[in-house]
Amino acid sequence: MNLLSIFRRGSAPIARERLQILLAHEREARDQPDLLGVLREDILAAISRHVSFDPDKVQITMDRGATVSTLAVDIEIPNRRRPSGSLPRYNRLMIDAEVASARSQWTNGLC
Amino acid sequence: MSEGKSARVLVVTSGKGGVGKTTSTAAMGAALAHLGEKVVVVDFDVGLRNLDLVLGAERRVVFDLINVINGVAKLQQALIRDKRLENLYLLPASQTRDKDALSEEGVAKVIAELRTKFDWIVCDSPAGIERGATLAMRHADAAIIVTNPEVSSVRDSDRIIGLLDSKTERAERGECVDKHLLITRYHPWRAARGEMLSIEDVLEILSIPLLGIIPESEEVLRASNVGSPVTVNAALSAPARAYFDATRRLKGEQIPMQIPNESRGIFNKLFGRKAA
């Protein structure tokens, strides 16, 4: 610590903070290589037991935040009956879930 | 090979290029040999070999790692004995452009043979996370992660730590690769002024044990210029002493960590200016 640094703080604290945030996300992604893929399969399997839908009309997105991430599932479900001659109509099933960011749960072993 | 002692395979890696992997491999390989260990340094940077140049052996390369893997040459024919340290050997990389020349089985065979002949097998990894880098770390018992106190280097080191925990033989057996952090090109005055990540910052972010701190020094550049490891060329210089301390720690000795410091006058201490 010196006199000047009191007035002119260096850029190292910014570097540290940026790295901490970035690496927290990258480690999470690394430790759960295909979380989205696994979730997608499980969610679609559960829903397909009750309604039929076109797998191509499914959107699953994960929005990562600092403390909480949001998982959004958007599925188009065709209506079973539609009046002849009219355009096909769809219902839309949307699931929103908040997923707490937890790294430890997914890490394996202590290296 | 000292009887009854098991060989250690060490990978020197970083992810990012230009942080000092080859310099550190040469410096610590020479330091280990100086301390009485029988050492081979292996260049895994196929196509861009440089360890031969840093060790001043570039004109003595006849056969290389790929020749040994392909059976063109025997291991003994490819090994180059250092002219200054009789315990130090180099296994050079090939200059071939074919990266696939390095086969997984071939590398396993060569490492297994080296284990019977040496105390330490120091693998100099290429930059990146491609085949060459993963093969260099594949059989490692321990890893030195070379990091500069700078954002891109720290990020890449974190990535490499992830690979060491998943892609190595040890990781696949459910064991750990011993990881050691070597901070190179450290500028004490920049860290003191908050212009560069401090040692504590890097340690907190990467959370692996610190092996040593190598200060930025013209001696390191001079050593590569003349083709001699800094631990041989300027053994009493600050970077060489830091490399020797790191090497002793690697061997299990308890050496107190010295954070490189600059002797500065009262004016500089007050105003944080580096003396010209």
The verdict on a CB contact (< 8 Å) between A12 and B198 is: yes
Span B154-170, pLDDT tens digits: 999 999 999 999 999 99
Q: Which residues of A touch B165 (CB under 8 A)?
A: 109, 111
Are A12 and B155 inside 8 Å of each other by CB? no
Average pLDDT for chain B: 92
pLDDT tens digit sequence for B55-111: 999 999 999 999 999 999 999 999 999 999 999 999 999 987 776 788 999 999 999
Considering only CB atoms, which residues of chain A are within 8 Å of chain B?
2-5, 9-13, 15-16, 18-20, 22-23, 26-27, 30, 109-111
> Which of B151, B159, B164 is facing A18, going by the closest CB pair?
B151
CA dihedral B263, B265, B268, B272 (to 10 degrees): 30
* Sign, Cα dihedral of B101, B109, B69, B19: positive
> What is the pTM assigned to this prediction?
0.77
- Which residue from B minimizes the CA distance to A10? B194
Round to whole Å and give the CA distance between B65 and B43: 8
Using CA coordinates, name the residue in chain A closest to B177.
A111
A13-63: pLDDT as tens digits: 999 999 999 998 888 877 666 777 777 888 888 888 888 888 788 888 877
pLDDT tier at B274, thresholds 50, 70, 90: very low
pLDDT tier at B245, thresholds 50, 70, 90: very high
Hey, what long-range contacts does A54-62 have (CB within 8 A, 24 or more apart)?
Answer: A54/A78, A60/A36, A62/A35, A62/A36, A62/A99
From chain B, the residues in CB contact with A9 under 8 A are 194
In chain B the first and final C-alpha atoms are separated, in Å, by 49
- Kindly tell me the sign of the dihedral angle through the C-alpha atoms of B243, B253, B124, B183: negative
Tens digits of residue pLDDT in B132-155: 999 999 999 999 999 999 999 999
Residue type, A5: S
Residue numbers in B near A26 (CB within 8 A):
155, 158-159
The C-alpha of A6 sits at a distance from chain B's nearest C-alpha, in angstroms, of 10
pLDDT at residue B86, as a whole number:
96
**Contact state of B195 with A19 under an 8 Å Cβ cutoff:** no
Interchain CB distance below 8 Å, B194 and A16: no
Nearest to A26 among B158, B171, B201 (CB): B158
So what's the pLDDT on residue A109? 45
Q: Best mutation site among A1, A2, A9 for testing chain B: the one with the most B CBs within 10 Å? A: A2
pLDDT at A58 (0 to 100): 83
**Quick one: pLDDT at residue A53?**
83
Shortest Cα–Cα distance, B96 to chain A (Å): 33
Tens-place pLDDT, residues B16-49: 999 999 999 999 999 999 999 999 999 999 989 9
The interface predicted TM-score of the complex, written ipTM, equals: 0.80
Q: What is the pLDDT of residue A80?
A: 65
- Collect all residues of chain A within an 8 Å Cβ-Cβ radius of residue B178: none
Q: What is the pLDDT of residue A64?
A: 72
**pLDDT number for residue A111:** 55
